[in-house]
Structure 1
């Protein structure tokens, strides 16, 4: 017998409505967190579409576009899980060119992309402005870490089994992008930040076409 699953659009529209109920006025920043392969980018893109359906201004960014240079990312060694967790992203630049100016509102410009990790170079900044009432959605890994607490008005964690996440990465680029460095680095993150406890919403994204909300009393 077929099992009913909620429509993706219904989940996204409900999540957008919940956020707008509390943060419909002024500027607000939403984090979509999860492990590599959890589907944070697609989910965040689709959530942005839900905000647009609601008639609200929305901007998108990924923490992946705020990485540090390769030499810095691997300064502790190619296999260092500590380096993966501690050294991958440039949070000072992230705050300075995106988070802080976005929160200021008005005509202050902000940048949603600062670094090209593939070419290992900084990118020419593209300064954006937006209306007084706007949402910024940021996706990626490690977003509920201690250094970023206080940034988010709302955060969601996408729950996906490790094997499912790795299979998605293999299907996406032909090889698993998750090695022991990444697995252990994510374990460090979970122990240090407890992201599932910090997130305001838990989403089972095992089936990205039918994400479902997880509530504390059913965990």
Structure 2
């Protein structure tokens, strides 16, 4: 993937002084979102740009709310994996002006949440990284969205060998949800920048 971090660096440098800039890094599973985010953070650090990162997967719901609910697996993943209203209300609606955020972070080992208070500087770049970021419930809160476009077969090969063995889960849960997102939301068309990953 070509390094576009300098383009994004210039973009955030030109933001309004004293304000926050909300940057979304969107893309399907294993498309390279975390790698791009890390590259950007290194670049921002070098240029003394205050920034903070949020991973949308840190805020998923407990397993009982997203597995064996009686709905199709793809529906569970796309619509039930996150509490869409809660994230919009407690997170996105406060990103621009709130001095602090009170958020629930998911702990995989205990399948439970821990409340944390995050302080936000008045002037900073806020990077939100995760899948399905351009869904209608969240899209309008971003100043700029980068979409990482990566073929399904390439992304699948990035999974560890053990995970790849559960092909049925990919077929019934992840890939159907991803196809729904691509068709219903058209993230490549709506993004401000599309990167081939």
- For 1:52 and 1:144, the matched residues in 2 are separated by 27
Question: Which of these residues, 117, 142, 146, is aligned with residue 156 of structure 1?
Answer: 146
Does the Cα contact within 8 Å between 2:60 and 2:106 map onto a contact in 1?
A: yes
Q: Greater share of strand residues, 1 or 2?
A: 2
Question: Which of these residues, 191, 207, 214, is aligned with residue 183 of structure 2?
Answer: 191
Distance 1:166 1:52, change over 3 A: same
Aligned to 1:216: none
- For 2:18 and 2:189, the matched residues in 1 are separated by 26
Query: How many correspondences in the alignment?
Result: 193
Tell whether 2:193 aligns with 1:175.
no
* Runs ≥4 residues deviating over 6 A: none
Comparing both chains, which one has the higher relative contact order based on Cα–Cα distances under 8 Å and sequence gaps of 6 or more? 2
- SS of 1:74's partner is coil
User: 1:18: how far off?
Assistant: 1.9
Question: Which of these residues, 40, 45, 49, is aligned with residue 33 of structure 2?
Answer: 40
Aligned CA-pair RMSD: 2.3
Does the Cα contact within 8 Å between 1:111 and 1:128 map onto a contact in 2?
A: yes
- SS of 2:37's partner is helix
Question: Which of these residues, 98, 112, 127, is aligned with residue 121 of structure 1?
Answer: 112
Structure 1 gap ranges (5+): 206-219
Distance 1:19 1:80, change over 3 A: same
- For 1:45 and 1:92, the matched residues in 2 are separated by 28
TM-score (norm 1): 0.79
TM-score (norm 2): 0.87
- SS of 1:114's partner is strand
